[in-house]
Amino acid sequence: MSQTVFVLNGSNLNMLGKREPHLYGRTTLAEIETRTKALGKELGLECEFRQTNSEAVLIEWIQEAFEKDSALIINPAGFSFGSIPVLDAVKLIRKPVIEVHITNIHQRSEQYQKSLISLAATGVICGLGPGGYLLAMRAVAEALAAAPR
């Protein structure tokens, strides 16, 4: 029985490839999903990949991951910088939580530099572009393999 990893994406990430390509590149979220699911399968992990522009929906999905005792890879996007409710939901997760940002948030303007979600994340990957999702999937696989059964 393979372990499920929820890969949840926040606001405006559905516009990857179109939105500010000088920052986010031309890779679409659909392409990231395909690559992430393929690697997950290779690593023996089921991947539940989703995107929403709704904070409430994101919280419900995080709660679903908690109820299913799943690991979480999350790119909270704009919800990173001001959503206490998303942070509180992430704190529920018992398995590894990897926060991903396509850009290096520490090099961006001040309002994008401090992610609240990082307070609850096991690890944070930022600035490595779409490949950050693959690194996150590998990090989750390693952490799950190392966890006591």
Active-site amino acid positions: 24, 101
79 neighbors 99 (Cβ within 8 angstroms) = no
Phi, psi of 81 (to 5 degrees): -105, 5
Pairing of strands 3-9, 45-51: parallel
Pairing of strands 71-75, 3-9: parallel
Sheet containing 123-126, strands listed edge to edge, beginning at the edge strand earlier in sequence: 45-51, 3-9, 71-75, 97-101, 123-126
